[in-house]
Chains A and B, each alone.
Chain A
Amino acid sequence: MAEPRELNPSELMHEYLRPKKKFPHLWCSGCGIGTTMGAIIRAIAECEVDRDRVVMVSGIGCSSRMPVYVDFNTLHTTHGRPLAFATGIKVARPELEVIVVTGDGDVAAIGGNHLIHACRRNINLTVICINNSIYGMTGGQASPTTPQGKIATTARYGDFERAFDLCSLTAGAGASFVARGAVYYARQLEKLAAQAIRKKGFAFVEVVSQCPTYFGRFNKFKSPVEMLYWQRDNTVNVKAAPKMAAEELEGKLLRGVLADHEYPEFTELYDKLIADLAKEGEK
């Protein structure tokens, strides 16, 4: 196998996908998941992680189908539970590089409890949450990140509930690393994913994505491209934000690294305990 860095972008994709096995994929045209998958693959290649060591774990939903298509160790689990499965894998074999791919419904609704506890526990996992603000796989129902007032098949009169800010949530729950990217900014997304993979500790990356089939159609976006423009016009690079006026930042989502801390990592603490007990045993 050639060094991944020497491959051109399309060769790189081909190298890391399972082209013979599972294509064509099931995502709609205009969906943001494919772009995100590309960014993740480039990030893994950039970090030079041996693919035999990479475990991609997902739950249920459109984004959670990603493991089918990538040539790593892949685990498609139950709805909302990928973090718990990933926790078991990583604690049992800390040498593996465990990446969780999930969606807003998967990780913030049914898996919300696992999310906050994974942040608190601080195991060296990377979580990429593709947030399209809706349940795509089941046909467009409201999710915990559907903005207030927006339309979904279970919120025909507009959603009453407030949306979660997933980055504030995970930062508040104690994640070591929190970042937000957007599909429109695919290059930045790739960098954020790479940073998350390199980060020792629990790393969470929210990807602002688009679901043209449901969210877009219900909420008067004329095309996927228009949804991408929305991302361009409504997100601000966190580095640029300090120089901007308050009214310019009004209603905008910050993109970039939003939290980066050094906390003791769980598997390291546990390995130290094992070593200490072994020493004690020798005595």
Chain B
Amino acid sequence: MVLMQGNEAIARAALDAGVRFFAGYPITPSTEIAEMMSVELPKVGGKFLQMEDEIASLAAVIGASLTGVKAMTATSGPGFSLMQENLGYAYMTEVPCLIVNVMRGGPSTGLPTHPSQGDVMQARWGTHGDHPAIALVPSSVLDCYRLTVRALNLAERFRTPVILLPDEVVAHMREDVTLPEKIDVCDRELPTVPYEWYYPYDDSTTDVGPLAPVGTGFRFHVTGLTHDRAGFATTVPAEIDRAVRNLKRKMDRFRREIIQVEHWNLSDAEVVVAAYGICARSAEAAVREARDRGYLVGYINLKTVWPFCFRLIQRVAETARAIVVPEMNLGQLVREFDRAVCGKTQVVPINRVDGEAITPRQIVDVVTELARPGEES
């Protein structure tokens, strides 16, 4: 057992999962990750680079990943905004990488040392064009470790950038944790065909084709332009359609494998509190207290915010009288809940944007109001 900080757990997990390249730019409150990687990577033969900005950081990460090395960067709001350009490139070129965005208050420079959850929609739609997105949100230091490993595994498995979205509280808090003794690590699939048969964007046999490391004889082309299966730019409508749809398709097909949600007490719940990140901790404390006081309340912790767990929420909407969604923003993920329930149940947001975490008290007050027994009859 050790006392470990969230950011430290992320760096530790990345090293344990085989990350051997990090490029980044200092920014509060993510800097501890870069600092730790700069010390630890050379010890295991890995490379650390401090780049001139966040645009260059993600570019270097993508370049390194293309050579077959597991690569990542870490940043916060303003830096994540700069990364959107090359994030789109990574989606388009299907290059695995991990982007950690420690959420601080925004917009703009906002609140460098205070938490928020204001980047949830940016993680989904921040870069232009239709693209898939995977974003995981830890709510404890142990989560920081586990979800970093998971994010890297998903990135390699589905040849896509994956975003880890801790908030400042989770990233900076220290907790006593016992790290898993053994972790499952997934590495990207490599081509087994002769050089001349290789197509880097071949989806004919599987949804995710193998990715050859640059410099191993395959000599393929990579471009951010909409491309055919060989990787060359195309303007043929059928090929364009196929390329854009394929990006989404692989995510749709495997959404059950990607989405990870922790929930309990849903079966008899009149009110369900659905939260993520630090708010899930407030929600857990609130739900426990409400249950102790006899209220029928359920709990959902969305460890995966993107793709969104539509089916689960649809099911909950059939039975619960209300879904309470606490968020440290002015209501971002709550829109997905609205879309999922289609008016079948009440969706009640709790929002806070003063740089402080939503407290269990705030949630208890709302929940006990909504779940008051006998109100319906």
Contact = CB atoms under 8 A, between A and B. Distances in A.
Interface of A: 21-22, 51-53, 55, 57, 67-68, 71-78, 81, 83-89, 91-93, 95-96, 113-114, 117, 270, 273-274, 277-278, 281
B59 interface: yes
Contacts of B52: 113-114, 117
Interface string B59-96: 11111111101010000000000000110010000000
B56 A270 contact: no
B221 interface: yes
Contacts of B215: 52-53, 55, 73, 93, 95-96
Interface stretch (B39-47, B272-280, B297-305, B339-347): B39-47
A42 B21 CA distance: 33
Given A68-B232, A76-B225, A93-B67, A88 B49 contact: yes
Given A78-B59, A281-B43, A88 B71 contact: yes
A71 B60 CA distance: 23
Interface residues of B, number: 43
B217 interface: yes
Interface of B: 20-21, 23, 42-43, 45, 47, 49, 51-53, 55-57, 59-67, 69, 71, 85-86, 89, 214-225, 230, 232-233
A88 B49 CA distance: 8
B21 A88 contact: yes
A74 B231 CA distance: 10
A262 B71 CA distance: 31
Nearest to B41: A274
Contacts of B20: 92
Interface of A is mostly: helix
Contacts of A87: 23, 49, 51, 56, 59-60, 63
Choose among A22, A51, A73, A274 the residue with the greatest number of B CB atoms under 10 Å from its CB.
Answer: A73
A85 B97 CA distance: 13
A21 B60 contact: no
Given A84-B56, A88-B49, A21 B232 contact: yes
A84 B71 CA distance: 14
Contact of A84 (B45, B60, B219): B60
Contacts of B62: 85, 88
Nearest to A51: B219
B223 A76 contact: yes
Nearest to B69: A92
A47 B29 CA distance: 47
Contacts of B67: 89, 92-93, 96
10 contacts: A68-B223, A68-B233, A73-B219, A76-B225, A78-B89, A84-B60, A89-B67, A91-B60, A93-B215, A117-B56
Contacts of A22: 232
A136 B374 CA distance: 73
A170 B59 CA distance: 21
Contacts of B47: 91-92, 270
Given A74-B219, A85-B59, A92-B20, 17 more contacts: A74-B220, A74-B222, A81-B55, A81-B56, A84-B56, A88-B59, A88-B61, A88-B71, A92-B64, A92-B69, A95-B215, A96-B215, A113-B53, A113-B56, A274-B42, A277-B42, A281-B43
A273 B55 contact: no
A96 to B, nearest CB: 5
A78 B85 contact: yes
